[in-house]
Amino acid sequence: MKKICILSLDGGGIRGIITCIILKYIEERLQELDHPHAKLGDYFDMVAGSSTGGLITSILLCPGENSKAKHSVTRGLELYSKKGEDIFQVSFWQKLINPFGLFSEKISQEALEKNLVDFFGTIELRELIKPCLITSYDIENRRAKLFNSVEASRQSTDNFLVKDVCRATSAAPTYFSPVQIQSMYGQTFSLIDGGMFANNPALCAYAEARKMPFAEIFKNHQKPNHPVVNDMIIVSIGTGAEAKPYSFKSLENAGKIAGFPL
Report yes or no on 261 lying in a domain. no
Across the strands, what pairs with 181? 189
Report yes or no on 256 lying in a domain. no
Asked if residue 99 has pLDDT above 60, the reply is no
Asked if residue 260 has pLDDT above 60, the reply is no
Q: Dihedrals φ, ψ of 174, to 5°?
A: 75, -10
Domain that holds residue 170: 4-250
| Active site positions, annotated | 51, 193
State the pLDDT at residue 256. 47
Whole-model pTM?
Answer: 0.84
Question: Looking at the 3D structure of the chain, how many domains does it have?
Answer: 1
State the pLDDT at residue 242. 65
Report yes or no on 217 lying in a domain. yes
- CATH code for position 80: 3.40.1090.10
Asked if residue 101 has pLDDT above 80, the reply is no
